[in-house]
Structure 1
Amino acid sequence: MEVALLGFFFIFYLFVRYFVIDHDTQADKDRLRFAEGIHLFQLHRYDEAYLYFDKAVKQHPKSSLAFAYRGKCHLRNDNAYSALFDLTYALTLDNTIADSYLDKGMALYQLHQFDEAFKEFDKAVWYSRGLQPDAIRWRAVARMQLDQYSQAQKDLIRAIELGDENSAYLLKQPPFSNVIHS
């Protein structure tokens, strides 16, 4: 009886430990590990953030987040090819981070690969569950390059509903400026 009770508590402990307490993903753990570099990026200190994440990818070559942030730095420094390389590699390590798809799409857009950019923006919308207005707006912008204006308009309206002022501005520009919105 005591052995059974002890076994029950041990199984209960394991269940709580692995399914309730310690359920952080690797990306969550990396956000804590790389907080200093992320902070540099948020302060728009892209050169310093790049140096931080360049070192991080060498020390942690399996960290999707380190590659994603180094890619973000490349993107902000107008180095689209290097950004594309880092973001593609980041997505091979973890294909669930919506921001990586968004940034990869932006790099492709800068390279005038609008069809491929649209696909990445669409994935960003999917992985953000349609709640990231930037991803929706960028998908609309790519759709405009692909002459998909009615779908682009729907995306812009959805982004506005999520509070995106940039989409409101775009919706007031041609070819949408002649359409009455309700």
Structure 2
Amino acid sequence: MEICLVVLLFIPYLFIKYLLTDHESKAEKDLIRFSEGVRLIEGSKFETAFHYFDEAVKANPKSAVAYALRGKCNLRDENYYSAIYDFSQALSFDNTLADCYLDKGKAHFALHEFEDAFREFDKAVWFFRNEKADALRLRGLSRLRMDQFAQSKRDLLRAVELGDEDSVQILSQFPFNIDLPYVIEAEQKGPNLTKD
């Protein structure tokens, strides 16, 4: 009897606690807090945005969003190593920032670090649940650079299904105009057999 009474009192407590609890994540709160800097990025004022987020990182050294957005500015300014550092820091504080994986992959890709780029794009695809065309296209391009033609074609075809016109253009060019069974057979025999 006493147990039933405790359970009956506990249910309203849980309900009230749920209603009073803040359900925004730290990243969502930081986006609101740094909305001025976000507006600067959206307005393509990257130099001013960089200074804004540089100060934000100094004032909030554990803010994943501040690092991620400063990294976005570094990426835009082609400071790829600084961008990779910022994205790595951001992901160390919050490893669920899908855009961060995508941007970090772009920096690695620009440095011709295609395996590292692939890993980051692969994580982005996973976090976007296979529904973001950019992530799929970029993963496909990094696979292309690693001579994984069949997998690259699959990624690009999925991006086309999502409406990505850039993937249509890529698919219309070599090496995708060759017969896919030949590519799979060549991949099983060894690397670089499908070139030229």
TM-score above 0.5, yes or no: yes
Structure 1 residues 81-100: aligned runs within 5 Å: 81-100=81-100
Corresponding residue of 2:166: 166
* Offset of residue 6 of structure 1: 7.7
Q: Distance in 2 between matches of 1:163 and 1:23?
A: 33
Q: Deviations over 1:83-125 (max 9, x none)?
A: 0110011000000111111111111111111111101100000
Check if 1:101 corresponds to 2:97. no
Given candidates 12, 16, 21, the residue that maps to 1:13 is: 16
Q: Distance in 1 between matches of 2:119 and 2:142?
A: 9
Letter in 1 for 2:20: R
How many residues are matched? 175
Contiguous gaps of at least 5 residues in structure 1:
none
Q: For the pair shown, which has the larger CA radius of gyration, 1 or 2?
A: 2
Q: Distance in 2 between matches of 1:176 and 1:43?
A: 38
Taking a change above 3 Å as real, the CA distance of residues 7 and 178 of structure 1, as seen in their structure-2 partners, is closer
* Offset of residue 175 of structure 1: 1.4
Structure 1 residues 29-178: aligned runs within 5 Å: 29-178=29-178
* Offset of residue 179 of structure 1: 5.8
Moved over 3 A (4+): 3-11, 177-180
* Offset of residue 10 of structure 1: 4.1
What is the aligned-residue RMSD (CA, Å)?
1.9
Taking a change above 3 Å as real, the CA distance of residues 11 and 140 of structure 1, as seen in their structure-2 partners, is closer
Q: Distance in 1 between matches of 2:132 and 2:76?
A: 19
Q: Distance in 2 between matches of 1:137 and 1:153?
A: 9
Letter in 2 for 1:104: K
* Offset of residue 31 of structure 1: 1.2
Letter in 1 for 2:155: D
Identity of matched residues, %: 48
* Offset of residue 12 of structure 1: 2.6
